[in-house]
Amino acid sequence: MSERHSVWGDSMTVADKQAIARAFGRAAPHYDDSATLQRRVGHRLMALAESEQKAIYLSTVLDVGCGTGYFTQQWMTHAKTVIGLDLSAPMLATAKARCGDAMLGVQADAEHLPLADNSIDLAFSSLALQWCDDLHVPLAELRRVVKPGGQILVSTLLNGSLCELDSAWQQACGTSRVNRFITLSGLQQATQRAGLMHATVLQESEQLTFATAHAVMKSLKGIGATYRPQGTGQQGLATRAQFSAVEKAYQRFALAANTLPATYQIGYIVINHHA
C-alpha cells in the first residue's frame, strides 16, 4: 500500500501555507543564528552533487526553499543564473540582501513552480520540502523543470527526528507537540510516484546538543519551525508546568551534565534526470 507523504493529516489548507510563511518570515532576521543543522545538511547535500556538475559552469541553478540565501550564494560560483525560491517574502528579502542582483528571487510554492519545463540545469532543496502537503508533488515539479541530463538534490526530515523532544512531551503531557515526518520507505515511494525511477535515497543521522530542553525548543523557534497543523496533536500554548515537566522528562537522554541531544533523521535524494 502506498503511504501518504504528508505530515498534515488529511490535507494542507491555504491557511496552513500562509501560517508557515508567516512563521518563517518572523524568523528571517535571526534565522542564521540558529541554523546549525541547516548548514550541516546543506553542505552534505552539496557534497553529494556529481563532481562534474560542480566542475562545469551551469546555466541555471534553482534553490527551492532558499530561506536567507546561504546556499543560494554557495551555488553562485557554479552557475550563470541562480534562482532563489521561497514561500516567505521576508526570507526572500533577506536572501536578496545577501546575494544581491546575482540572485533572481521568486516568491512561490514548491508544489507549483512558476518555471518553464526543462529550464533548470540543477535543482537544490535542503530541509524545505517537509513543509509540503504531499512530497511527490514538489518532486514531480522538480522533475518537470529540470532539463534531461540535469540533477536534482533534495534533503528532508524523516520519521524519528526530534525523538527525544517528542518522547519528553509524550511523557510530560500524554501527547506529541512534534510534527510528524515521512518514513524512508515513504520517501522512496514519493520519488517513484513523481516519476523519478533512478533516485539514490539515503538516510543519515545528525545530532545537536543543548544545555536544556528549553534551548532545544528555542532553536526551533529561531528557524521558524514552530507551526503545527490542526488535527496533528495538541494545539495552543503550553503552560509553565508543562514546560517544567518536559524539562524533567528530557533529562533521561542527557549525554553529560548540561548536554542534551536533539537527534534528526535526514533523508537525501540524488537524481540524475534523464527524461
Q: What is the mean pLDDT of each run of 10 residues along the chain (275 residues)?
A: 47 75 83 93 92 75 97 96 97 97 96 98 96 93 96 97 96 88 96 92 98 95 71 62 95 97 98 77
> Regarding the domain delimited by 14-159+180-207+266-272, which CATH topology (the fold level of the hierarchy) does it fall under?
Rossmann fold (3.40.50)
Residue owning grid cell 548548514:
39
Task: Tell me the residue type at 53.
Answer: Q
pLDDT at 53: 65
Cell numbers of 162, please? 526530534
Name the DSSP letter for residue 225. T
Q: How many CB atoms lie within 10 A of CB 24?
A: 26
pLDDT at 227: 63
Domains of the chain, residue spans = 14-159+180-207+266-272
Contacts of 191 (CB under 8 A, 6+ apart): 136, 139, 197, 199, 201, 269, 271
Single pTM value for the model: 0.90
Alpha-carbon span 220 to 119, nearest angstrom = 35
Integer-rounded Cα radius of gyration of the chain: 19
Alpha-carbon span 4 to 9, nearest angstrom = 9
Alpha-carbon span 218 to 226, nearest angstrom = 10
Task: Tell me the residue type at 256.
Answer: A
Alpha-carbon span 58 to 43, nearest angstrom = 19
Alpha-carbon span 113 to 127, nearest angstrom = 17
pLDDT at 146: 97
pLDDT at 197: 84
Cell numbers of 67, please? 530561506
Alpha-carbon span 103 to 88, nearest angstrom = 16
pLDDT at 68: 96
Cell numbers of 34, please? 540558529
Residue owning grid cell 518563517:
24
Residue owning grid cell 510528524:
180
